Structure 1
Amino acid sequence: MKYSHLSDTAASKVELPDQERIQHIKKPRWIGYSRAKDILEKLEDLLVHPVQPRMPNMLIVGETNNGKTMLVEKFRERHPASENPNGEAVKIPVLYIQAPPGPDERGIYNAILNRLFEANPRSESVDAKRDRVVAILKRVSLGFVMIDEIHHLMAGAYVKQRNALNVLKYLGNELRVPIVGIGTAEAVRAVQTDPQLANRFTPEVLPKWTRNAELARLMSSFERVLPLKEASQLSASPLIDRVLDMSSGTIGEMSTLLNMAAIHAIKTGEERITVSTLEGCQYVPPAQRKQAAALM
Structure 2
Amino acid sequence: MSIEASHLTESAQKALLLTDQERIYKIKSDRWIGYPYAKEVLQQLDELLKHPRNNRMPNMILIGESNNGKTMLAKRFCQLNPAFDNPNGDSVIAPVMYIQAPPVPDEGRFYNAILDSLFAPYRPSERVDKKQFQVLKLLRYVELKVLVVDEIHHILAGSLHRQRAFLNVLKYLSNELQISIVGVGTKDALRALQTEPQLANRFKPIQLPRWELNDDFKRLLASFEKMLPLKHPSELKQDALASRLYAMCEGYIGELSGVLNTAAEWAILNGTEHINQKALAEIRWTPPSERKRQIDRAQ
TM class, shorter-length = over 0.9
1:161 aligns with 2:163: yes
Equivalence for 1:226:
228
Q: Give the number of equivalent residue pairs.
A: 296
Change (3 A) 1:104 1:4: same
CA distance in 2, matches of 1:113, 1:20: 36
- 1:143: Cα distance to partner? 1.3
SS of 2:212's partner is coil
Map of 1:170-209 to 2, 5 A cutoff? 170-209=172-211
CA distance in 1, matches of 2:9, 2:68: 24
CA distance in 2, matches of 1:208, 1:93: 30
- 1:5: Cα distance to partner? 1.9
**1:95-153, CA deviations, whole angstroms, 9 ceiling, x for partnerless residues?**
22111110111121121122222232244222222222212212211111111111112
The list of structure 1 runs, each at least 4 consecutive aligned residues, that deviate by more than 4 angstroms after superposition, is: none
Map of 1:244-259 to 2, 5 A cutoff? 244-259=246-261
Map of 1:54-203 to 2, 5 A cutoff? 54-84=56-86, 86-203=88-205
**1:190-213, CA deviations, whole angstroms, 9 ceiling, x for partnerless residues?**
213322122110111111111122
Equivalence for 1:2:
4
Between the aligned residues of both structures, percent identity stands at: 50
SS of 1:4's partner is helix
CA distance in 1, matches of 2:252, 2:200: 27
SS of 1:231's partner is coil
Query: What is the identity, as a one-letter code, of the residue corresponding to 1:47?
Result: L
Query: What is the RMSD of the two structures over their aligned residues, measured on CA atoms?
Result: 1.7
CA distance in 1, matches of 2:101, 2:148: 10
SS of 2:280's partner is helix
Which of 31, 34, 55 is the matching residue for 1:32? Answer: 34
Q: Determine if contact 2:4/2:231 at 8 Å carries over to the other structure.
A: no
Query: What is the identity, as a one-letter code, of the residue corresponding to 2:177?
Result: L
279-288 vs 156-165, which deviates more?
279-288
SS of 1:95's partner is strand
Equivalence for 2:267:
265
Query: What is the identity, as a one-letter code, of the residue corresponding to 1:241?
Result: S
164-173 vs 194-203, which deviates more?
194-203
281-290 vs 28-37, which deviates more?
281-290
TM-score calculated relative to the size of structure 1: 0.94
In the alignment, structure 2 segments of 5+ residues that lack a partner are none
269-278 vs 32-41, which deviates more?
269-278
TM-score calculated relative to the size of structure 2: 0.93
CA distance in 2, matches of 1:120, 1:8: 45
SS of 1:138's partner is helix
**1:10-49, CA deviations, whole angstroms, 9 ceiling, x for partnerless residues?**
2233354322322221221111101111111111110010
CA distance in 2, matches of 1:286, 1:123: 41
Change (3 A) 1:12 1:82: closer
CA distance in 2, matches of 1:81, 1:21: 31
Change (3 A) 1:123 1:265: closer
185-194 vs 207-216, which deviates more?
185-194
Map of 1:13-28 to 2, 5 A cutoff? 13-28=15-30
- 1:172: Cα distance to partner? 0.5
CA distance in 2, matches of 1:114, 1:107: 10
In the alignment, structure 1 segments of 5+ residues that lack a partner are none
